[in-house]
Amino acid sequence: MTLQTDADGRLVHLLTLEGLPRPVLLALLDRAQAFADGADARGALAGTAVCTLFFEPSTRTRLSFQRASQRLGADVLGFDAATSSTTKGETATDTLRNIEAMGVRGFVVRHPGDRAVAELAAAAAPGTVLVNAGDGRHAHPTQGLLDMLTLRQAFGGDFGGRSFLIVGDLLHSRVARSDLHALRTLGAGRIRVCGPRQLLPGEDVLAGCEVFHDFDAALEGVDAVMMLRLQRERMEEGLVGSLEDYHRDYGLTAARLRRAARGAVVLHPGPMNRGVEITDEVADGPQSLVLRQVANGVAVRMAVLETLLARR
Closest to ligand CP by CB, 18 or 135:
135
117: buried, middle or exposed (CB in 10 Å: 19+, 13-18, 0-12)?
A: buried
CA distance 102 to 98: 7
Closest to ligand CP by CB, 9 or 271:
271
Q: Say whether residue 113 binds ligand CP (CB under 6 A).
A: no
Binding mask 143-162 for ligand CP (x = CB under 6 A): x-------------------
Closest to ligand CP by CB, 59 or 253:
59
Rounded least distance, CB 274 to ligand CP, Å: 15
**Strands of 265-267's sheet in order across:** 210-212, 190-194, 163-167, 224-227, 265-267
Q: Say whether residue 115 binds ligand CP (CB under 6 A).
A: no
Stretch that binds ligand CP, among 25-33, 58-66, 122-130, 214-222 (CB under 6 A): 58-66
Binding mask 7-46 for ligand CP (x = CB under 6 A): ----------------------------------------
Q: Say whether residue 141 binds ligand CP (CB under 6 A).
A: no
Q: Site for ligand CP (CB under 6 A): how many residues?
A: 9
Rounded least distance, CB 142 to ligand CP, Å: 9
Q: Say whether residue 270 binds ligand CP (CB under 6 A).
A: yes
SS3 (DSSP) at 190 = strand
Stretch that binds ligand CP, among 30-38, 42-50, 269-277, 279-287 (CB under 6 A): 269-277
51: buried, middle or exposed (CB in 10 Å: 19+, 13-18, 0-12)?
A: buried
- φ/ψ of 65, rounded to 5, equals -65, -40
CA distance 31 to 162: 23
Q: Which residues contact 119 (CB under 8 A, 6 or more apart)?
A: 93, 113
Contacts 24+ apart (CB under 8 A), 153-158: 153/33, 153/36, 153/292, 153/296, 154/224, 154/265, 154/289, 155/223, 155/224
Q: Say whether residue 59 binds ligand CP (CB under 6 A).
A: yes
Residue among 16, 52, 61, 150 that touches ligand CP (CB under 6 A): 61
Binding mask 172-211 for ligand CP (x = CB under 6 A): ----------------------------------------
CA distance 46 to 287: 39
User: Which residues of the chain form contacts with ligand CP (CB under 6 A)?
Assistant: 58-61, 134, 143, 269-271
